Amino acid sequence: MTSQESLLLCQNEWCIVPQEDRAVIEIGGKDRATFLQGLFTQDLIKDFPIGNILYGIFPNLKGKILADAYVANLDDHTFILDVEAFVLPVLLKHLHQYLIGLEAQIIERGRQYRSFSFLGPEATHWLKRLLSEEPPSANQCSWQQDGRSFALSVARRDFKEYRVWVRKEFEIEFLSLIKDSRATVDKEVYETIQAESAIPKLGREMDENTFPQEVGLDEFLNFGKGCFLGAEVLQRIFHQGHVNRKLLLLSFNGSDAIPSGAPIVQSGAEVGKVTFSSLVSQNRPFAIGLVKISALEATPPAVPEPLFAKVKGAEILLKPLQGSSLSKSY
């Protein structure tokens, strides 16, 4: 099956994506919410009942992105952090650094579970058959009754998925229930769907040199909750009204994808970098990239000079996709 066919399967029917690069951290203890409240950008105390999920950021002292995470209030004594596996050592060290005088436990569970994402309009039906019960609603989570797995239902912008964490000893049994082997697709298709929905990825569009506002994560900064690490810097950016870079969704013409890291140039000067591109999209080839705000500004009636990706000495015209949540400032 081609990548294009896999994409259509995910968009029109259902598909499953093995998530080799995700990890789980369990936070327990009576002070778990208080502990994370000062480190996470979302409010984990007010209006965060059992069964809910919040997406947010763990900033560093400078307000830049140390890690992003889905935090699930799984039951009356457990929070689950669903994070990128590569950031696990850094995030665990960060959490332990601030675990002072609080009754909370940090347990890395990544080796005990395997993660799978389910996408598409028929995913709910298939997941109900696999789990023998109703899957959770959007931005909700649940333990399955047999204790073999737990499920998260994630909705961000136009991107929706079920993420199921299965205990590794039951993985083969779980997969044997999937009769249609066509349904398993590769990570490129998954990342294409995410990128088209303006979902930045840690280690690609964002890292410890990136402010959340640069990659369109403003809505996940809850300044009303009170103090959290890096909040003062992030509030200053909020009141100033802009950052120096912005993530853009861009179209281009060509038969080859643009390599990640390719310079974005304007009038011969480098103004940004391409972070991801895909030819798989049903609509058109597209790329995303971080671009200097100054390259997107012009005094009316003038318009900004065109942007190009520089690849092997050639320049490929990039057109910001108007109406996308990533191109509002263009």
**Domain end (from 143, 170, 196):** 196
141: Cβ–Cβ under 8 A, 6 or more apart, which residues? 51, 52, 53, 72, 73, 74, 80, 150, 151, 152, 153
* pLDDT tens-digit readout, 239-293: 887 799 999 999 999 889 999 999 999 999 999 999 999 998 766 899 999 999 9
Query: Which carries the bigger pLDDT value, residue 128 or residue 230?
Result: 230
Q: Domain check: are 14 and 160 in the same one?
A: yes
Q: What is the pLDDT of residues 20-70, one digit of tens each?
A: 899 999 999 999 999 999 999 999 999 899 999 999 999 999 999 999 999
Give residue 134's region: left, alpha or beta (phi > 0; psi -120 to 50): beta
76-88 residue pLDDT tens: 999 999 999 999 9
Domain count, the chain: 2
Structure tokens that stand for 306 in this block:
């065109």
> What digits encode the pLDDT tens for the residues 116-160?
999 999 999 888 887 778 889 999 998 875 678 889 999 887 889
Q: Is the pLDDT of residue 104 over 60?
A: yes
Region for residue 77 given its phi and psi (left: phi exceeds 0; alpha: psi -120 to 50; beta: otherwise)? alpha
CATH number for the domain harbouring residue 260: 2.40.30.110
Domain shared by 182 and 254, yes or no: no
Residue at 329 is within a domain: no
Out of 152, 172, 196, pick the residue that ends a domain: 196
The residue segments making up the domain with residue 238 are 212-320
Whether residue 320 has a cis bond before it, omega within 30° of 0: no
Q: How far apart are the first and last CA of the chain?
A: 37
H or E segment to which residue 93 belongs: helix 88-97
Tokens 């993985």 belong to which residue?
Answer: 171
Answer whether 82's CB lies under 8 Å from 27's CB. Answer: no
Q: Which two tokens stand for residue 61?
A: 């002292």
Q: Considering only CA atoms, which of 106, 120, 157, 113 is closest in space to residue 22? A: 113
Q: Does the pLDDT of residue 8 top 80, yes or no?
A: yes
Domain C-terminal end among 196, 222, 251: 196
CA 264 to chain centre: 23
pLDDT for res 326: 44
328 assigned to some structural domain? no
This prediction's pTM: 0.92
Assign residue 137 the CATH number of its domain: 3.30.1360.120
pLDDT per position as a tens digit, 158-215: 889 999 999 989 888 887 877 665 688 888 899 999 998 889 999 999 999 999 999 9
- Average pLDDT across the chain, whole number: 90
Which of 286, 284, 322 lies closest to 304, judged by CA? 322
In terms of Cα–Cα distance, which of 254, 124, 271, 282 is closest to 192? 282
